Structure 1
Amino acid sequence: MRSFAVIGLSSFGYHLCKNLSELGAPVMAIDVDAEKIDDIKPFVQKAVVADAKDKDTLKSLGMEDIDVVVVTVGEPIEVSILITLYLREIGVKEIIAKVITEDHAKILDKLGVSSVVFPERDMAKRIAYTLRRSILLDYVSLGEGYSIVEMGAPSDWLGKPLAALDVRRQYNIQIIVIKDVLSDKVVIIPGGDYVLKDSDILVMVGRDEDLEQVEKL
C-alpha cells in the first residue's frame, strides 16, 4: 500500500489523515501546532511537530521516500507555494495540494503538482446541486460534463425489469449500483432481470443533461 504524508492539520487535513489511516494506509501527519499533532497522534503511524516551510526539515523527515504528499495548507498562499516548491526540489513522487483560488491552482500547476483540490468550493457545489434538484440523494461531478448521482427509482420505472427499461439506450445513462434500503442489499452492475422496487436507490453515471432528464421523470 502506498504511503502518505499530510502537511497541515486544518479540519480537512485532520479528517484526511484519519480516513486514510482507517483504510489501512501508513500516514505521517505534520504541523507546527503541537496540540493538533497530539489530537491526530492516536490515529496515524507517525505525527511530527515540524515547520514544513524549512527545506532541511522536509529532507530530514524523508519526504522523498513518501509515495504521496498532500499539502493541506491553503492560506497564506505563499506558504503553500513554498512548501510545494521544496517538495518538488526534494523529489517527491506525487504531490496533491489544497488550493484556495484559481490563481493559486495555476501557480501550483506550474510548479508541477500532480493534482489540486478545492475542498470548500467542491463541497459547496455538491450541496448546491443536491439542494436545487431535491430528488437527488447525492451527487459527484466527474468533470467534462459527466456526473454520478444517487436517487430513488422514478415511479414510472417501478415494477419493471431493467431490460425492459433499457436505460442505456433510452436515456444514455448507466445504472452501476442498486441499493435496497430495507434489506441493505447492494447489487453491483445489476442484470437486465432486476425488477425495480420503491425501496431501491439507484446510483447512475452519465452526462449531466441526460441525468437531468431522468430526474424529471
Structure 2
Amino acid sequence: MNLSSLNFFSTLLGNNRQFAVIGLGRFGRAVCQTLHNLGYEVLGIDNNQRLVDQALHDGVVAHALQLDSTEPSALEEASIADFDTVIVAIGNYIQESIITTLNLKEAKVPHVVAKASSEIHGKLLERVGADLVVFPEREMGCQLARALTKPRILDRFELDPDNSIVEVVVPERFDNKTLADLDLRRNYGISVLAIGADQKFQINPQPQQKLVKGQIMVVIGSNRDIDRLPV
C-alpha cells in the first residue's frame, strides 16, 4: 500500500518526533515505513510476534514490541503515554480497535489516530475519543476513481473534503495561451500556483505567462471546479 499521496500524513502534528503504530498489518507497516523514511522514530506494536519480528527485520521501525493493546497495564509498561502520536492500525478487528483507542486516551496520549473499516466503526472510535479517524480504503478508492476518470491529474493534495491542490497536465485547449487569455479564475474558479517544465517550477506565474501543452500546472480550487478542467 502506497500512502505517499494520501492526506493522512498531513493531518499528523508537524512538530512531532516520536510515533507509535499499533497493528503491523499492511496499513500499519505502510505507516511505519513512510514515517521511518521521513526520518521519524517509530515504535511498532502488535500482539503477533511474527509481525513484530518481521517489522524489525525489514527495518521499518526503530523499535517493536509484542503486547496486547487491549490491556491498559501492557500499554503502561511500554510507556505509551510518552509518545506524541499513536496510530491505531488494527482496523479489521473492531472490538480491539475501539478498546485500544479508549485505553490510549485514558492514558493521556495527546494525539490518537485510528483506522476505521466502516462508518459505524468510525463513529464509535470518535465516541471513545479518537482525535482523528481515517478511512484508508475509501481514500484509495476515491483516488483510483479520479485517476481513471481524470488521467491528466497527476497528484492531488486534499485541503478538506471539498477543496484540493492538484498537479495537472496542461491540456491541448490551453496550448500557446497566456494565463490572462484563459482567465482561469473567472472561467473555471481555480488559481494557478505554479507552472512546471523540465522538473523545475515557476512559482506564482505572471498573467503574461504562456502555457504549453504537456507542461504541469499546480492549481488550487474546489474539487467541483477542478473536475471541470478540459482533458
Find the residue that maps to 1:43 and give its secondary structure. coil
Please say if 1:107 is aligned against 2:124: yes
Q: Displacement of 1:193 after TM fit?
A: 4.2
Q: Displacement of 1:209 after TM fit?
A: 2.4
Query: Judging changes above 3 Å, is the alpha-carbon distance between structure 1 residues 191 and 64 closer, same or farther for their aligned structure 2 residues?
Result: farther
Q: Displacement of 1:144 after TM fit?
A: 4.1
Aligned to 1:57: 74
Structure 1 residues 101-160: Cα deviation after superposition (integer angstroms, max 9, x where no partner): 101111111112111111111101111122123443344544442233332112222223
Find the residue that maps to 2:117 and give its secondary structure. coil
Q: Displacement of 1:44 after TM fit?
A: 2.1
CA contact (8 A) 2:174 2:213 kept: no
Structure 1 residues 28-78: Cα deviation after superposition (integer angstroms, max 9, x where no partner): 111122222222222322111222121111111111110000000012201
Instruction: Supply the distance in 1 between the matched residues of 2:89 and 2:47 (Cα, whole angstroms).
Output: 13
Aligned to 2:176: 159
Q: After the TM superposition, which residues 65-104 of structure 1 pair with which residues of structure 2 at under 5 Å, given as runs?
A: 65-104=82-121
CA contact (8 A) 1:171 1:214 kept: yes
Instruction: Supply the distance in 2 between the matched residues of 1:112 and 1:138 (Cα, whole angstroms).
Output: 32
Structure 1 residues 178-207: Cα deviation after superposition (integer angstroms, max 9, x where no partner): 332xx2113344343432222312232211
Query: Judging changes above 3 Å, is the alpha-carbon distance between structure 1 residues 188 and 51 closer, same or farther for their aligned structure 2 residues?
Result: farther
CA contact (8 A) 2:21 2:89 kept: yes
Aligned to 1:214: 229
Aligned to 1:203: 218
Q: Displacement of 1:212 after TM fit?
A: 2.2
Please say if 1:15 is aligned against 2:30: yes
Runs of at least 5 residues in structure 2 that lack an aligned partner in the other structure: 1-14
Residue identity over aligned pairs, in percent, reads 35
How many residue pairs get matched?
Answer: 214
Query: Judging changes above 3 Å, is the alpha-carbon distance between structure 1 residues 34 and 178 closer, same or farther for their aligned structure 2 residues?
Result: farther
Q: TM-score, normalised by structure 1?
A: 0.89
Aligned to 1:120: 137
* One-letter amino acid matched to 1:156: R
* One-letter amino acid matched to 2:123: K
Farther off after superposition, 77-86 or 122-131:
122-131
Query: Judging changes above 3 Å, is the alpha-carbon distance between structure 1 residues 215 and 10 closer, same or farther for their aligned structure 2 residues?
Result: farther
Instruction: Supply the distance in 2 between the matched residues of 1:206 and 1:27 (Cα, whole angstroms).
Output: 35
Q: TM-score, normalised by structure 2?
A: 0.84
Farther off after superposition, 134-143 or 13-22:
134-143
